Amino acid sequence: MAFARNTWLIARTIWIEAIRRREIYATVLIALALIVATRLLRFFEVEGLWKFYREISLRVMNLATSLTVILLAARQLPREFERRTLYPLLARPLGRWNFLLGKFLGVMAAAAFCYGLFMAIFLVGQATTGTALNAALFVQFVYLQFWNFAVLAALAFLLSLIFNVDAAMTIALVLYIFSQVFLNLMSFLYDGLGALQQRLLLLLHYVIPQLTLFDASGKVVHSMIGPGGEALLWPSLAGWAIGQLTVYGLLYTGLYLGAAYALFRRRPL
């Protein structure tokens, strides 16, 4: 009970600090601009651009929330060391794993707040289009995005214990961007490489998490609902696929958090 209470208090503190930051609300204004754009499209009767609205909206919202997660997570531990606020906290009956887990859950709560605002705005904009949305597929899309945010947060925590804040943010951002194109790049280059190069490419494939696996936005964009409510294109993902992606996300999140804890534990205070 003490472990859970301490974790909750740390997470709650991070969440309160995050929702007071202006950066989150600045990114929300971008999404509001997209809703204004949908009104203009409806005014000009350009019906074929509703899918374009869906795609641009979801990609901007995913990118903005991912950047928010990287910035929040990479700053947490270095800021505690710089301000020396970590020392009185750990002087209490509070373990380092308890502290790290609370920080992680706080960042994830902030991500939920930010992404929740985005999804509310997206659904309002979607309602103005007059087109149906596959609700089950949309829920799966949001669920998988949270595994994307969890992996990014754990990775940013790990990098912040190895590098300084700016370097940790930059490397996490580069890895995030690289993961968006790696699978396509790998499928394009693989057959033309030698045996050793193919092994190195496969090793890189497993070392860097493939975050595009969590992105079901393309299916949400092109999903269609028939008159009877049935999915005509891109039905909901199968349970086994969701299960495998959950294990994949849990594996990388646990790996990065475990490595961050090992470094945090060995760091002298």
pTM of the model: 0.88
Distance in angstroms between the alpha carbons of the first and the last residue of the chain: 26
pLDDT digits (tens, 9 = 90+) for 63-121: 889 988 999 999 988 888 887 777 776 666 678 888 899 999 999 999 999 899 889 88
Q: pLDDT above 90 covers what percent of the chain?
A: 34
Q: In this structure, which amino acid lies at residue 154? A: A
Give the number of other Cβ atoms within 10 Å of residue 174's Cβ: 10
Sign of CA dihedral 3, 146, 33, 177: positive
Between 31 and 166, residue with greater pLDDT = 166
pLDDT band for 200, please (50, 70, 90 cuts).
Answer: confident
State how far the Cα of 167 lies from the Cα of 160, in Å rounded to an integer.
8
Contact (Cβ atoms closer than 8 angstroms) between residue 212 and residue 180: yes
Mean pLDDT of 206-229: 79
Query: Would you list the DSSP string of 7-32?
Result: HHHHHHHHHHHHHT-HHHHHHHHHHH
State how far the Cα of 10 lies from the Cα of 99, in Å rounded to an integer.
7
